[in-house]
Amino acid sequence: MAEAERIIGTPDTPDAAGNGRERPDEAAAAGASGADEPAAAGRSRGKRRIAVLFAVATFAYALDLISKMIVVAKLEHHPPIEIIGDWLKFEAIRNAGAAFGFGEAFTVIFTMIAAAVIVVIARLARKLYSLPWAIALGLLLGGALGNLTDRIFRAPGVFEGAVVDFIAPKHFAVFNLADSAIVCGGILIVLLSFKGLDPDGTVHKD
């Protein structure tokens, strides 16, 4: 009987159950699986933040582009439209300078700066894990793309095109929705920096 049990083996014996210990290869596999879970979660979160960035940028860019198309078709070469009396009007103008009409002699330089901003944001997106930063950079990207489109495709020529502005508050420069997106994104970035929140989601104290 003892000889038969030795040959056949029984499931309750320590040898048949592996002596109650996990094999080295099984332990290594379990450890690797546990280590991969936080990394996979981080990658997934990063992809969601990048999706938010490009969604915000697309919305800002589309809104700016559509508004300019309407302004050029319906408002250019027509009298201004009063929105709030003399305090706020819609008035179509062509701006060869930077945001709010500054620096009209440096159109090509502003075009290069806008292109550089887009490249920097695209590179920064790879390390983006913060939702507020994703929104801020999305606003910057959408605004930069909006004005860069004008620089490239509008008269008087490629990289020298005049930007379409139409929002005209009293005692202030005329601007457009792309300018607004850039300013809002910049303000948000300043606030996040003061709070010590980095694009990768870490918080530091000075």
Model confidence at 4: pLDDT above 80: no
End-to-end Cα distance, the chain? 77
Most confident of 11-25, 104-118, 126-140: 126-140
AA letter at 153: F
Task: Let me know the angle formed at the C-alpha of 178 by 196 and 71, rounded to the nearest 5 degrees.
Answer: 160
Q: Give the model's pLDDT for residue 159.
A: 79
Per-residue pLDDT tens for 178-205?
A: 999 999 999 999 999 999 999 988 988 7
Instruction: Tell me the whole-structure pTM to 2 decimals.
Output: 0.75
Question: Which two tokens mark 32?
Answer: 């690797």
Q: What does the pLDDT look like over 12-40, one tens digit per residue?
A: 444 444 444 444 444 444 444 455 666 67
**CA-to-CA separations, 71 to 77, 103, 132, 163, in angstroms, rounded:** 10, 23, 31, 12
Q: How confident is the model at residue 2 (pLDDT cuts 50, 70, 90)?
A: very low
Give the residue, 45 or 98, on which the prediction is more confident: 45
Q: pLDDT confidence of 95, banded at 50, 70, 90? A: confident
- Report the catalytic residues: 165, 179
Q: How far apart are CA 189 and CA 170, in angstroms?
A: 28
Among 105-109, 141-145, 168-172, 186-190, which stretch is predicted with the lowest mean pLDDT? 105-109
Question: What's the rounded Cα separation, in Å, for the pair 100 and 169?
Answer: 11
**Which tokens belong to 69?**
């198309």
